[in-house]
């Protein structure tokens, strides 16, 4: 007999419909699966057979053919196990006494991996699958119980969580009632996600804190240059504490990526705080950009709507750093492979740190640099001009004095800084309410001309800096965008000379060192 079950697959961070067709005919016992299935799916033969038998049901000693349609689309992962098992039980005549309601079964999208004892295990990509299926008009789902919290943040659907094959069979045989997953309110839940680090614990470094405040307010990228132990890593780790809270739409985007990558905490079910990713300098290009055999999102996509922190940036291979060009400009990255081309979102804030030289003390007021000019040049040459141009703010971070470290006065807290950042972001949200971007850093050329009008004094100051520092056209635009953010933080409608001057100050370091 023939049975047909609805399931879904994942391509990139979007789901696509898959029909699991089971045909059981007389003949020598054989199991064949077709439809461009990967190894994990082909191995479902043993998982499904053992799960059915260990759950107390009859497995057909016949010819079993499983087709995953559409046949020309690659399918990956063990998420089709439960659908295949239910399809076999429906198609096998010996299991008629189970009284599975086939008509009811066809109304559901079935997802789940099976263990040998019939337990249903969690699978990756449930959130993007459910959202894509809902957009196609499908509203009923059977998913692993472990994925229930993840699915609870999507409205307008009916989700049946199951922990075993037996539970699924009894539900569709109307022998067991399973309540739908209760919907969760993101606004209530997100209050439990807080950043442990706070700027009030960072002594001194007023200039660096100011630069990071501007970066948070306008979505700008930052490069911190300073000697070892000056607090660059601590400043970077505190940065998420002053970023605006994620909206529900942003949280869903981030959660989709983490779900597909298999990095989602199933107990929380959603990523409610902005990601902070810190790949090691030995990370490969594929791990950073994404792709590979299973087309997983890379570190820059996992940092979407959050922060990508590159500690000691010159230590990363130059060809790896060059791969940041597209995402820094477009907010997405396209990974092209022989079998598949996938576009992942990658709209992140880049926070990078570096020493000014191999020993780390070039230009330090406390210690003497022992590096030769050629060593310094070779070290800094790892940072290309195009990458530096794409980093809006360059700021020096020097060692903190003993008196600063032992001072009893408390530094300004992240909460107070965040209040100013939120006000500046509200100004930008109002400014760009009819546009696709939401921050000054993502302004297009027409937007820059429209919202960054300069007085004659500002024009003269910018011209002087452009000619003396030999800045590029991109650096010119970055100065305007940073100045616009500084004006927003000050509550000024127009960009003033002091705003331009401060923005220029954040562009001089690459010329000073290079």
CA distances from 240 to 258, 272, 282, 299 (A): 18, 12, 24, 17
Which candidate, 293, 344, 289, places its Cα nearest to that of 319? 289
Q: What is the pLDDT of residues 264-312, one digit of tens each?
A: 999 989 998 999 999 999 998 889 988 776 678 999 999 999 999 999 9
Average pLDDT over the chain, rounded to whole? 91
Please report the pLDDT score of residue 490 as a whole number.
95
Residue 97 is classified by DSSP as: G
Residue 175: predicted pLDDT = 94
Mean pLDDT of 444-463: 93
Ranges 162-166, 188-192, 261-265, 438-442: which has the least confidence: 188-192
pLDDT at res. 362:
85
Tokens representing residue 36 in the block: 């461009």
Q: Rg (Cα) of the chain, in Å, rounded?
A: 28
**Percentage of the residues of the chain whose pLDDT score is greater than 90:** 69
- Distance in angstroms (rounded) separating the CA atoms of residues 212 and 395: 9
CB atoms closer than 10 angstroms to residue 379 = 20
Q: What per-residue confidence (pLDDT) applies to 423?
A: 96
Mean pLDDT on 68-87: 94
Distance of CA 422 to the CA centre of its chain: 22
Q: Mean pLDDT, to the nearest integer, of 356-379?
A: 86
The 3-state secondary structure of 293-337 reads CCCEECHHHHCCCCEEEECCHHHCCHHHHHCCHHHHHHCEEEEEC
Lowest mean pLDDT: which of 59-73, 138-152, 328-342? 328-342
The average pLDDT across 139-146 equals 97
Q: Is the pLDDT of residue 118 over 70?
A: yes
* pLDDT computed for residue 434 by the predictor: 83
Residues 385-431: pLDDT tens digits? 888 888 999 998 888 877 777 777 788 999 999 999 999 999 999 99
Q: Per residue in 310-346, pLDDT tens?
A: 999 999 998 889 999 989 988 999 887 766 788 899 9
In angstroms, rounded to a whole number, what is the distance separating the alpha carbons of residues 507 and 88? 65
Domains of the chain: 2-172 (3.30.230.10), 191-433 (3.40.50.300)
CA distance 251 to 270: 7
CA–CA separation, 95 and 124 (whole Å): 30
Per-residue confidence (pLDDT) for residue 201, from 0 to 100: 87
Please name which of 444, 215, 400, 385 lies closest in space to residue 308, comparing C-alpha atoms.
215
**What pLDDT is recorded for position 514?**
47
- Predicted local distance difference test score (pLDDT) of residue 48: 97
Minimal CA–CA distance to 151: which of 270, 24, 67, 317? 270
What is the reported pLDDT for 474?
Answer: 87
Residue 461 has pLDDT above 90, yes or no: yes
User: Are 465 and 479 spatial neighbours (Cβ–Cβ below 8 Å)?
Assistant: yes
Mean pLDDT, residues 450-476: 91
Local structure of residue 93 (DSSP, 8 states): G
- Whether 193 has a pLDDT exceeding 60, the answer reads no
Q: Is omega for the bond preceding 70 within 30 degrees of 0, making it cis?
A: yes
The distance of Cα 465 from the centroid of its chain, to the nearest Å, equals 37
pLDDT > 70: percent of the chain: 96
Task: Give residue 195's pLDDT.
Answer: 63
47-51, 103-107, 290-294: which has the minimum mean pLDDT?
290-294
Segment 375-380 long-range contacts (CB within 8 Å, at least 24 positions apart) = 379/314, 379/355, 380/314, 380/356, 380/513, 380/514
pLDDT for the residue numbered 270: 93
pLDDT tens for residues 220-260?
A: 999 999 888 888 999 999 999 999 999 999 999 999 999 99
Looking up tokens 């290009």 gives: 285
Residue 446 pLDDT greater than 60, yes or no: yes
How many CB atoms sit inside 10 A of residue 445's CB? 8
């Amino acid at each position: 007999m023939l049975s047909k079950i609805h399931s879904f697959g994942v391509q990139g961070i979007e789901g696509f419909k898959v029909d699991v067709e089971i045909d059981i005919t007389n003949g020598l016992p054989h199991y064949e699966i077709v439809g461009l299935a990967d190894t994990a799916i082909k191995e479902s033969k043993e998982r499904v057979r053992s799960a059915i038998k260990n759950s107390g049901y009859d497995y057909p000693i016949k010819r079993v053919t499983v087709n995953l349609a559409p046949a020309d689309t690659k399918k990956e992962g063990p998420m089709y196990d439960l659908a295949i098992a239910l399809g076999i039980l429906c198609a096998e005549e010996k299991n008629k006494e189970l009284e599975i309601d086939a008509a009811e079964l066809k109304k559901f999208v079935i997802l789940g991996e099976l263990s040998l004892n019939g337990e249903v295990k969690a699978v990756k990509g449930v959130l993007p699958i459910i959202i894509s299926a809902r957009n196609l008009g499908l509203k009923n789902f059977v998913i692993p119980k472990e994925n229930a919290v993840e699915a609870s943040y999507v409205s307008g659907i009916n989700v049946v969580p199951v922990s075993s094959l037996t539970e699924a069979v009894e539900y569709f045989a109307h022998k067991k009632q399973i309540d739908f997953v209760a919907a969760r309110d993101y606004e209530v839940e997100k209050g439990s996600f807080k950043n442990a680090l706070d700027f009030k614990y960072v002594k001194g470094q007023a200039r660096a804190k100011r630069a990071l405040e501007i970066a948070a307010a306008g979505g700008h990228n930052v490069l911190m240059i300073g000697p070892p132990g000056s607090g660059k890593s601590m400043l970077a780790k505190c940065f998420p504490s002053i970023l605006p809270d994620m909206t529900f739409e942003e949280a869903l985007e981030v959660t989709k990526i983490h779900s597909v990558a298999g990095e989602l905490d199933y107990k929380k079910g959603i990523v409610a705080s902005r990601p902070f990713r810190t790949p090691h300098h030995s990370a490969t290009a594929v791990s950073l950009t994404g792709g590979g055999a299973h087309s997983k999102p890379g570190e820059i996509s996992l940092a979407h709507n959050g922060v990508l922190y590159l500690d000691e940036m010159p230590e990363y291979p130059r060809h790896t750093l060059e791969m940041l060009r597209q995402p820094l400009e477009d907010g997405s990255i396209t990974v092209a492979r022989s079998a598949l081309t996938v576009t992942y979102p990658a709209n992140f804030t880049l926070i990078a740190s570096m020493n000014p030289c191999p020993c780390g003390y070039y230009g330090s007021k406390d210690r003497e640099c022992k590096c030769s000019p050629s060593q310094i040049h070779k070290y800094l040459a790892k940072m290309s001009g195009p990458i530096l141009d794409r980093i809006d703010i360059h700021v020096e971070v020097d060692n903190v004095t003993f008196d600063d470290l032992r001072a009893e006065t408390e530094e300004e807290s992240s909460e107070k800084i965040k209040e100013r950042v939120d006000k500046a972001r509200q100004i930008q949200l109002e400014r760009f309410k009819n546009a696709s971007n939401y921050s000054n850093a993502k302004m297009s050329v027409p937007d820059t001309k429209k919202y960054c009008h300069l007085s004659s004094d500002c024009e003269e100051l910018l011209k002087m800096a452009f000619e003396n520092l030999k800045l590029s056209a991109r650096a010119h635009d970055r100065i305007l965008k940073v100045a616009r953010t500084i004006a927003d933080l000050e509550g000024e409608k127009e960009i003033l000379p002091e705003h331009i001057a401060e923005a220029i100050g954040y562009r001089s370091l690459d010329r000073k060192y290079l």
